[in-house]
Amino acid sequence: MNFDEIEKQILCEVADLSEPPDGAYNFRVNGKSVGRKSTDNINVIPKTDKSGLDIKIEAGKKNETVHIPVVISTSGLKEVVYNDFYIGDGAEVLIIAGCGIYNCGGFNSVHDGVHRFFVGKNARIKYVEKHYGFGPGKGGRILNPTTEVYLSEGSEAFLEMEQIKGVDSTIRTTKAVLQDNAKIFIKERLMTHGRQTAKSDYEIELAGKDSVADITSRSVAQDRSMQTFSSKIIGANKCRGHSECDAIIMDSAQVYAIPSLDARNVDAELIHEAAIGKIAGEQLLKLMSLGLGRSDAESRIINGFLK
C-alpha cells in the first residue's frame, strides 16, 4: 500500500497507524479498498449488495484486532459504507475504526458509516472511532456515523468515540439493545469550532435482566459552533443506566442537551446528569497561579477535559 503525505497524516490521526498493523484490516481510501487482510480467526469479506464489509470473528478467540480506517482526500466524494461485525460467543476483539477527510476543493466531502455489531454471548468488544478533518477548501467535511450494537447475554462493549477537530457537520447516531447481564460503556469526546454543527443521538435499550449502560459525553463548543446531545435510556427490565453529558461552552457557541429516561420496570435504576458551563474562572486562576499563561491554561483545561 502506498499512501501520500496527506493520507499518511490522516491514518496517523484517526488510527495511529504508519504501516499496516498486525491482525485483520481494511484500508479504504477515496471510496476503494486499497488493502485488506483476513486472519485465521477474523474473516474480512466485502459485501456484494452494497459498499462495505462483513467482518466475522470466530467464537472463543481472544486478543484479536481489526483496523478499518477510512481516508477521503478527494473533494466532492460522497459515500455510504455498511460494515457489519459478527463477534462469536466468548470472543474478545479490539476494533479501531476512524475516518479523516482532507478537503481542498469547493465541494462537500461526505462519509456516512453504518456500523452494526452483533456481539455473541459473553463476548467482549472494544470499539475506538476517531473523526478528523482538515484542508484549505471551502467544501464541507461531513461525517455521519451510525453505530448499532446488539449485545447478547453476558457480553460487554466499550465504545470510545472521538471527534478530534475539523469536522464541519456530523450527526452521530448510536443505538444499542442489551440482553441479560450485558454491559455497554460509551465514552464520547467532541470538539467543535468555527460554525461547525454536531448532533449526538443515543438510544440504549436495557432489555435484559441486570443489564448495564453507562454513557459519558464530554464536549467543547467554541466560536459559533452548535452541539446537540440527546440521550434516551430505556429500562425495560431490572437494570442500571447512567448517562452524563458535560459540555464546556465558549465564545458564541450553543449547546443543547436533551436527556431522556424511560423506565418500564420498577427495578430499573436510571440516572441522567448534564452540565453545561464556561471554563470556570477559578480553574484558570489556579493554573495561572502555577505559571501558565491564560491561553495555555485554557488549552490545558480543554485538553484534559476531552481526554
Partner 1 sequence: MLELRNVSFSVDEAGGRKDVLKNISICFEPGKITAITGLNGSGKSTLAQIVMGIKKPTKGRVFWQNKDITDKTVTDRAKLKIAFSFQQPVKIKGISVFELIDIAKGGGADPQDIANCLKAVGLSPDKYLAREIDAGLSGGELKRIELASVLARDAEVAIFDEPEAGIDLWSFNNLTTVFKKIRAEGKERTLIIISHQEKILKIADNIVILEAGKIKAYGKSDDVLRSVLRRLK
CB of 88 to partner 1, least distance (A): 35
CB of 63 to partner 1, least distance (A): 25
Q: Smaller CB distance to partner 1: residue 40 or 282?
A: 282
Residue 304 contacts partner 1 per CB under 8 A? yes
CB of 306 to partner 1, least distance (A): 7
The helix/strand/coil state of 278 is coil
Residue 288 contacts partner 1 per CB under 8 A? yes
3-state helix, strand and coil shares in percent for the chain, rounded to the nearest 5: 10, 55, 35
CB of 296 to partner 1, least distance (A): 9
Residue 280 contacts partner 1 per CB under 8 A? yes
Selected binder of partner 1 within 246, 250, 260, 276 (CB under 8 A): 246
Question: What nine digits make up the cell of 23?
Answer: 491482525
**What's the CA gap between 84 and 97, in Å, rounded?**
13
Residue 277 contacts partner 1 per CB under 8 A? no
Residue 306 contacts partner 1 per CB under 8 A? yes
Q: Is the dihedral of CA 40, 42, 43, 44 positive or negative?
A: negative
Residue 278 contacts partner 1 per CB under 8 A? no
Q: Smaller CB distance to partner 1: residue 33 or 283?
A: 283
Residue whose C-alpha is closest to residue 215's, from 226, 206, 202: 202
* Number of residues binding to partner 1, judged by CB under 8 A: 22
Residue 185 contacts partner 1 per CB under 8 A? no
Q: Smaller CB distance to partner 1: residue 2 or 295?
A: 295
Residue 218 contacts partner 1 per CB under 8 A? yes
Residue 293 contacts partner 1 per CB under 8 A? yes
Residue 240 contacts partner 1 per CB under 8 A? no
Distance, C-alpha 266 to centroid of its chain = 32
The position carrying cell 471551502 is: 138
244 and 218 Cβ atoms separated by less than 8 Å: no
Candidates 10-18, 21-29, 165-173, 291-299: pick the segment binding partner 1 (CB under 8 A): 291-299
In the chain, what is the greatest distance between 2 CA atoms, to the nearest angstrom? 61
Q: Smaller CB distance to partner 1: residue 1 or 285?
A: 285
90 and 58 Cβ atoms separated by less than 8 Å: no
Give the 3-state DSSP-derived string for 173-198, with helices as H, strands as E and coil as C. EEEEEECCCCEEEEEEEEEECCCCEE
128 and 156 Cβ atoms separated by less than 8 Å: no
CB of 282 to partner 1, least distance (A): 5
183 and 153 Cβ atoms separated by less than 8 Å: no
Binding residues (CB under 8 A) for partner 1: these are: 218, 246, 280, 282-283, 285-294, 300-301, 303-307
